[in-house]
């Protein structure tokens, strides 16, 4: 009888508890392939028992119903966001990712492209609630108007007990893979641990540790000093203007790829004949994505693990490539055809020491593709600016961040792009290849403009990808099949994270391939050698890929914490080292016995910790350090 009485008095509680349990069960199936209803209750429902218990203290049925519906709507939207985020990034979003919700409008087309109609089941209860509104009078008659304090207190206590038990069970637990962590801890407890872990990572280095840091990094990376006279490519671009082109979503498998006799990247293929090409370089971005790639390139530091580095450290004075070149009389600028406020770049760029920037206000709304003006507009509008500096004898460093090959990769029919076989029609892979082909075309026009204006011979051009374009969870089975056929093997995370890195020195011809395993963190040291830039007392975690062939580099966020690449294997843990997966970096073959590489696992964790400590130790910059906007 007591249960029946509780049901009468708190019918809204039971209705919404069942709704939330079913929703959470549905979401866990989508995220984790988990079908355990008991585990869903145990790890997920605690917070809602407390919230619902507090709502039940309200006297007005109308107020209670409204509060339940509001919470239902908010949680449903957040759960949908978690699903979409995991689909695209393969990562369970934290509260810090939700803090960037204001940027969704800019990439709404990409977000909508990931939407599956089945996700509407998260909102089907709202249709049922409409029916409930019409029949609620009958339910109201069941309610005698007297709430049960014992029931409410019991509910809240059960909720607190469930949460406390879960938090105590997983306290101090370091699960490398975010998906496994969220599955075991619960989606909402995972958020709590994300906050705890971030707050626990606020330590900095002592002055003595800071002074010893370069040596500590060299020891951990086992990098030895090479006499200057023995350095290959040393100073080959000394005194030249520096142009870096960070190409949106450019993956290395597209380089040299032909389809029905058509080259996907005809210009880059031609450029490689005279360039230095590094085909085994991997992305290392964090939650800041493209902005993190900019940060890594300009600093040779690891990005923040929990939030976009541009959000967390743009208030710091960060040692960087622009500042190194500034000492040699260079002026530096960065150009991105989107709004500079995206990823908080208006604060990141002065922190990195750029002198000025060009954004959407400079480029306008001409020839828009996806989220901004086309790559052709980006390049063509900046050539006169480059020419002006060149004619004045002003050395410059220009960072170009392209946009046209941004997800969902829709290039207008009016553009000159590759013609693909019919099997690619309507596929994400087909759209991606067309967008890369267009980005390649626009880059080729830009270099030709540099040649026509007499600037090419005085230029070192650096081209690299910012991050993957095709994530296995954000494409269809047909797309995966197309990819497998294109690359001649099963699409692996090596293919996904592998980006090209190309260096061309305008008046010199090399045509050399450097097969060293590397990451974005290694680009700055490699280029510094070519520019004859001294990195003495400049803290950096990368290495010159030309002269230091033995490498160890880490990745986090898009791979579990502790993941690394070395000259032999790539490794990613699940919960810890013992249960991880290792693959040959050249053949993608599975390596069963990887126990010999545990030292590399420990070293990479220390290196990334050192990078975090170093970032925390950087001094705050003067807020008056603002950039010139063009």
Q: Return the CATH number at 553.
A: 3.40.720.10
List, for residues 401-417, the tens digit of each pLDDT value.
999 999 889 999 889 78
Query: Given this model, what pLDDT does residue 604 score?
Result: 97
**At residue 510, does pLDDT exceed 90?**
yes
**At residue 23, does pLDDT exceed 60?**
yes
Q: How many CA atoms lie within 13 A of 73 on its CB side?
A: 9
List, for residues 516-546, the tens digit of each pLDDT value.
999 999 999 999 999 999 999 999 999 999 9
Q: Which domain holds residue 324?
A: 212-536+543-629
Query: Given this model, what pLDDT does residue 488 score?
Result: 95
Q: Is residue 150 domain-shared with residue 235, that is, in the same domain?
A: no
40 annotated as ligand-binding: no
Residue 321 lies in a domain: yes
Query: Given this model, what pLDDT does residue 130 score?
Result: 79
449 annotated as ligand-binding: no
Local confidence band at 393 (pLDDT 50, 70, 90 cut-offs):
very high
The stretch 296-317 carries a mean pLDDT of: 93
- Residue 183 or 85, more confident: 183
Q: Is residue 371 domain-shared with residue 228, that is, in the same domain?
A: yes
Known catalytic residues? 290
How many domains would you assign to the chain?
Answer: 2
Query: Given this model, what pLDDT does residue 245 score?
Result: 98
Asked whether 320 and 303 are in contact (CB, 8 A), the reply is no
Residue 204 lies in a domain: no
Residue 521 lies in a domain: yes
**At residue 56, does pLDDT exceed 80?**
yes
Residue 13 lies in a domain: yes
Q: Is residue 383 domain-shared with residue 496, that is, in the same domain?
A: yes
CA distances from 493 to 104, 199, 286, 439 (A): 26, 31, 16, 23
248 annotated as ligand-binding: yes
The stretch 47-74 carries a mean pLDDT of: 91
Q: Is residue 120 domain-shared with residue 239, that is, in the same domain?
A: no
Which residues share a beta bridge with 357? 334, 629
List, for residues 193-230, the tens digit of each pLDDT value.
888 887 777 889 999 999 999 999 999 999 988 998 89
Q: Is residue 587 domain-shared with residue 613, that is, in the same domain?
A: yes
Task: Indicate the residue among 176, 199, 222 that finishes a domain.
Answer: 199
Task: Indicate the residue among 178, 199, 220 that finishes a domain.
Answer: 199
Q: Is residue 489 domain-shared with residue 518, that is, in the same domain?
A: yes
- Residue 538 or 472, more confident: 538
Q: Is residue 398 domain-shared with residue 419, that is, in the same domain?
A: yes
Residue 103 lies in a domain: yes
Residue 207 lies in a domain: no
Task: Indicate the residue among 172, 199, 226 that finishes a domain.
Answer: 199
The stretch 480-496 carries a mean pLDDT of: 96
Q: Is residue 136 domain-shared with residue 234, that is, in the same domain?
A: no
The stretch 348-359 carries a mean pLDDT of: 96
Query: Given this model, what pLDDT does residue 100 score?
Result: 60
**At residue 143, does pLDDT exceed 70?**
no
Q: Is residue 230 domain-shared with residue 121, that is, in the same domain?
A: no
Local confidence band at 259 (pLDDT 50, 70, 90 cut-offs):
very high
Query: Given this model, what pLDDT does residue 142 score?
Result: 46
Query: Given this model, what pLDDT does residue 474 score?
Result: 79
Q: Is residue 353 domain-shared with residue 482, that is, in the same domain?
A: yes
Q: Tokens representing 373?
A: 């003006």
406 annotated as ligand-binding: yes
Residue 444 lies in a domain: yes
State how far Cα 274 lies from the chain centre.
Answer: 32
Q: Which of 121-135, 594-608, 610-624 has the lowest mean pLDDT?
A: 121-135
pTM for this structure?
0.90
**At residue 594, does pLDDT exceed 90?**
yes
What b/e sequence results for 107-136 when a residue is b if at least 16 CB atoms lie within 10 Å of its CB, and e otherwise?
Answer: beebbebbeeeebeebeebeeebeebeeeb
Q: Tokens representing 142?
A: 């069941």
Q: Is residue 370 domain-shared with residue 498, that is, in the same domain?
A: yes
494 annotated as ligand-binding: no
Q: Tokens representing 591?
A: 């390596």
Return all residues near 175 (Cβ < 8 A) that are at least 6 apart: 181, 184, 185, 574, 575, 576
Q: Is residue 185 domain-shared with residue 276, that is, in the same domain?
A: no
Residue 206 lies in a domain: no
Return all residues near 467 (Cβ < 8 A) that are at least 6 apart: 249, 283, 285, 289, 290, 293, 499
**Average predicted confidence (pLDDT) for the chain:** 90
Query: Given this model, what pLDDT does residue 177 score?
Result: 85
């Amino acid at each position: 009888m007591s249960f029946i009485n509780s049901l009468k008095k708190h019918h809204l509680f039971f209705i919404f508890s069942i709704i939330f349990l079913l929703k959470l069960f549905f979401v866990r199936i989508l995220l984790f392939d988990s079908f355990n209803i008991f585990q869903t209750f145990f790890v997920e429902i605690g917070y809602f028992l407390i919230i619902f218990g507090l709502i039940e203290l309200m006297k007005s049925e109308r107020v209670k119903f409204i509060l339940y519906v509001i919470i239902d709507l908010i949680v449903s939207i957040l759960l949908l966001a978690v699903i979409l985020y995991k689909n695209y990034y393969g990562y369970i979003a934290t509260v810090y990712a939700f803090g960037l919700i204001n940027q969704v409008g800019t990439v709404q087309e990409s977000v909508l492209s990931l939407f599956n109609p089945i996700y509407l089941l998260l909102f089907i209860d709202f249709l049922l609630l409409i029916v409930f509104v019409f029949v609620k009078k009958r339910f109201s008659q069941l309610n005698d108007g007297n709430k049960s304090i014992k029931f409410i207190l019991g509910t809240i206590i059960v909720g607190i007990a469930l949460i406390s038990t879960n938090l105590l069970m997983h306290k101090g637990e370091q699960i490398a893979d975010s998906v496994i962590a969220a599955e075991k801890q619960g989606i909402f407890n995972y958020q709590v641990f994300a906050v705890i872990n971030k707050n626990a990572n606020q330590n900095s280095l002592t002055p003595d540790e800071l002074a010893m840091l370069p040596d500590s990094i060299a020891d951990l990376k086992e990098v030895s000093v090479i006499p200057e006279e023995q350095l290959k490519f040393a100073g080959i671009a000394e005194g030249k203007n520096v142009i870096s082109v960070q190409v949106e979503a450019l993956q290395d498998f597209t380089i040299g790829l032909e389809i029905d006799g058509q080259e996907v990247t005809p210009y880059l293929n031609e450029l490689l004949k005279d360039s230095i090409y590094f085909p085994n370089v991997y992305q290392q971005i964090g939650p800041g994505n493209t902005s993190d790639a900019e940060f890594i390139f300009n600093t040779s530091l690891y990005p923040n693990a929990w939030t976009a580095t541009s959000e967390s450290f743009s208030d710091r004075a960060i040692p960087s490539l622009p500042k190194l070149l500034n000492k040699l009389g260079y002026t530096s600028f960065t150009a991105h055809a989107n709004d500079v406020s995206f990823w908080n770049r208006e604060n990141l760029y002065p922190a990195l020491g750029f002198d000025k920037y060009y954004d959407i206000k400079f480029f306008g709304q001409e020839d828009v593709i996806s989220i901004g003006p086309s790559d052709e507009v980006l390049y063509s509008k900046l050539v006169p600016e480059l020419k002006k500096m060149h004619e004045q004898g002003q050395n410059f460093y220009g960072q170009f961040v392209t946009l046209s090959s941004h997800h969902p990769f829709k290039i207008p029919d009016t553009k000159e792009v590759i013609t693909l076989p019919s099997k690619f029609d309507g596929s994400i892979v087909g759209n991606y290849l067309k967008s890369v082909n267009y980005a390649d075309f626009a880059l080729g026009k830009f270099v030709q403009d540099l040649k026509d204006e007499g600037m090419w011979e005085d230029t070192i051009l650096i081209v690299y990808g910012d991050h993957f374009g095709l994530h296995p969870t954000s494409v269809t089975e047909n797309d995966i099949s197309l990819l497998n056929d294109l690359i001649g093997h099963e699409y692996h995370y090596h293919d996904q994270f592998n980006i090209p890195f190309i260096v061309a020195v305008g008046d010199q011809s090399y045509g050399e391939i450097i097969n060293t395993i590397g990451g974005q963190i290694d680009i700055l040291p490699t280029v510094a050698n070519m520019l004859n830039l001294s990195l003495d007392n400049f803290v950096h975690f990368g290495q010159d890929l030309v002269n230091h062939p033995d490498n160890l580099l880490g990745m986090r966020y898009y791979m579990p914490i502790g993941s690394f690449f070395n000259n032999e294997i790539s490794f990613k843990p699940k919960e810890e080292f013992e249960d991880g997966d290792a693959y040959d970096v050249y053949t993608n073959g599975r390596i069963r016995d990887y126990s010999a590489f545990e030292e590399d696992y420990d070293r990479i964790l220390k290196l990334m910790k050192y990078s975090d400590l170093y970032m925390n130790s950087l001094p705050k910059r003067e807020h008056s350090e603002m950039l010139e906007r063009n």
